[in-house]
Amino acid sequence: MECGASDEGSRSQKLLANAMPFLSHGSYRIRYELDGPADAPAYVLVNGLTQYAELWAAYCDALLARRFRVVTFDLLGQGVSDKPALFINQDDHVAVLHRLIGTLGDGPVFLSGISFGGLIALRYAIEHGKRLSGLVPMSCFAELSPQLLLIGNALRTGLILGGTSYLQDLLLPMNLSDRWLKPLLDKLDGVKRQGWLVNDVYALQNLMESFLDFHPITSQLSSIAVPTMILNGEFDFLTPRCLHETLRVEIPDSALVIIPEAYHAFTLEKGALTADLLARFAEDVLAGRWQGNKAVLIAPGEPGGELSPFPAGYDHLRAIPVQRPSP
Amino acid sequence: MSGFLGPLDADGRVPPQQQTRVAAFLISAHGALARQFALALPLRIETAWQTELNAQFYRESEIVSLLQRATIWVPDIALGYMAASWEAAWLPPPTGLTGDRSLAPSVNLATLAHAVHAAIRPAALLPTEASPADPFVLALRRIEFESGRLLQAQILFLKGPELLPFRDAVSAALEQRHNEVRRLWREMLASIGIDPRE
């Protein structure tokens, strides 16, 4: 079964959706897509809150070209997957992911998720880390800071009062750069339409409520033993650096990679670069070259470029060049 | 089968036959909710939550009124049979949902209202070329938007502490209502050549 088509062919995507495979989770059906050679290492990609599987199309192409298997899916409550009417529990997402990864056989599995999906990936790694070869949380968090809690509540209120379209109106400028938005200013309705069509207010609300009351997992992060590359956009103010720093400090074999000039949704804006980073990370892990060392690195501007260490002596948690206090 | 209403005319309007059947279905569903809210609404409001009943009643009535006036109606001989099956489906199920007889009517009404407000998305049927100046197009958008707001009262009640001991039964009843309402909606749409999954 092929990975999703590009975002633009929404009608043909829906035609494809009728032939897509589904996974059972209790009485619910989870739509997923799997492509690539059966003996290749697999990448499982977990959506953010308002996403749907087709948004990973560019990643599928890039990772398949690098000889990975790629799995994408709509979370319970998203896209073409079933949408529980009243309650969605975070445990359900982890259980679905476990079931999905269980279908992949015994080969290496790399797990990556963005934002809400990153949290699900972290929880999976805590509970089933032995099944993973590597983990890539992106634009992610292990606890709700007061800012994130209040922003989350405000976004939920926006969804309730203004519907999915208003939530998208809030998220687009918050999560994407001027450079990305400017040429699309006249076409934003088209950009939003597929997400608006496939995501329902009540289901998004259930998804949001499933994480607004979640318990912090910071104290469990140290149990994640797999190599972990944490990706954070330079200008991500929805989940800022300090939330990623928690992951870097707590996860033993981790490195924090800052994506230059990127916001929260850099997987959309910088797909080619991010896909390249994912592939290189997995290749390094499989070749035994990966060394996390809790390093702080800066990603290149373009795919294939070199990662560079954050300048020694400076505080990577600051937006201005402030020197760290001497130990 | 098409995924959207149409083909639109030169002015971006939905064909009258499709307008008639979609509006008839929505009037049946929202009209049933208006009647049931009217029956539940006391003459004198004694508690705070009853103010929401009042709001729900008038907003459902507004949806019915809007559709009556914004739709281009044409004769449709199949409507009589279809409307009878819809009306039968809106009736409360014969058994209580929670084991607590006093809660059953409220739960029945809330599950139906949740299903109608959440599972039916009339604006999602509109192609991008639909005229924003057309009354029927605007009515469908308004109904979907208002449904998202009306839904909040049902979510608060069905997820509320009063029903927490009956969470599984309530969830199962709600899923069943969603399935029924979706089935009727899809059948009606299929009868005019629309499959929203396309």
CA distance A265 to B125: 29
Inter-chain CB proximity B118 and A84 less than 8 Å = no
| Closest to A131 in 3D by CA, of A160, A154, A103 | A103
Distance, CA of A29 to CA of A49 (rounded, Å): 18
A-to-B residue pairs, Cβ atoms closer than 8 angstroms: 54
Question: What is the rounded average pLDDT of the residues B16-34?
Answer: 98
> Residue A296 pairs with which residues in a beta bridge?
A256
Task: Name residues 117-136 of chain B within 8 A of A (Cβ).
Answer: 117-118, 121, 124, 128
CA A191 to chain centre: 19
Between B47 and A66, the more confident residue is A66
| Domain A10-309 part of CATH 3.40.50.1820 | yes
Omega before residue B94 within 30° of 0, cis: no
Cβ within 8 Å, pair A85-B170: no
Judge contact between A170 and A156, C-beta under 8 A.
Answer: no
- In eight-state DSSP terms, residue B160 is S
Query: Under an 8 Å CB criterion, which residues of A touch B?
Result: 11, 14-15, 17-18, 27, 84-87, 160-161, 163, 189-190, 193, 196-197, 200-202, 205
Run of H or E residues at A276 = helix A271-286
Tokens for B77? 């001989």
* Domain edges within chain B: 16-190
pLDDT above 70 (res A100): yes
Residue B167 predicted with pLDDT over 60 = yes
Interface subset of B 98-117, CB within 8 angstroms of A: 114-115, 117
> Chain A contact for B160, CB < 8 A?
no
Answer for the pair B151, B38: CB distance below 8 angstroms, yes or no.
no
Is B118 in contact with A193 (Cβ distance < 8 A)?
Answer: no
pTM, to two decimals: 0.92
B42: left (phi over 0), alpha (psi -120 to 50) or beta: beta
At residue A323 the predicted structure's pLDDT band, cuts being 50, 70 and 90, is: confident
Q: Which two tokens stand for residue A149?
A: 């809690």
Burial of residue B114 (CB within 10 Å: 0-12, 13-18, 19+) is buried
DSSP assignment of A132-182: -SEEEEES--SS--HHHHHHHHHHHHHHHHHHHHHHHHHHHHHHS-HHHHG
Show residues of chain B in contact with A197, CB under 8 Å: 124
What is the reported pLDDT for B198?
62
Q: Give pLDDT tens digits for A1-18.
A: 445 444 434 444 444 445
Taking CA–CA distances from B154, the nearest residue in chain A reads: A86
**pLDDT number for residue B62:** 98
Q: What is the pLDDT of residue B58?
A: 97
Of B124, B151, B175, the CB nearest to A202: B151
Q: Do B3 and A14 touch (CB under 8 A)?
A: yes
Question: By percentage, how much of chain A surpasses pLDDT 70?
Answer: 93
Domain B16-190: give its CATH code.
Answer: 1.20.1260
Residue A178 CB partners (closer than 8 Å, separation 6+): none
Contact (CB, 8 A) for A299 and A258? yes
Domain segments of chain A as ranges? 10-309
Check residue A3 and give its pLDDT.
57
B194 touches chain A (CB under 8 A): no
Q: Which residue of A has its CA nearest to B155?
A: A86
What lies within 8 Å, CB to CB, of A116 at 6+ separation is A47, A48, A49, A207, A211
Average pLDDT over chain A reads 92
Of B148, B159, B167, the CB nearest to A201: B148
Task: Please write the tens of the pLDDT for every residue from A296-316.
Answer: 999 999 999 999 999 999 999
Q: Tokens 């999976």 appear where?
A: A124
Half-sphere exposure of B193 (CA within 13 A, CB side): 10
Q: Each residue of B73-94: pLDDT tens digit? A: 999 999 999 999 999 999 987 6
Mutation target vs B (from A88, A89, A194, A201; most B CBs, 10 A cutoff): A201
A319/A322 Cα distance (integer angstroms): 8
CB contact under 8 A, B155 and A86: yes
Confidence tier at B116 by pLDDT (50, 70, 90): very high
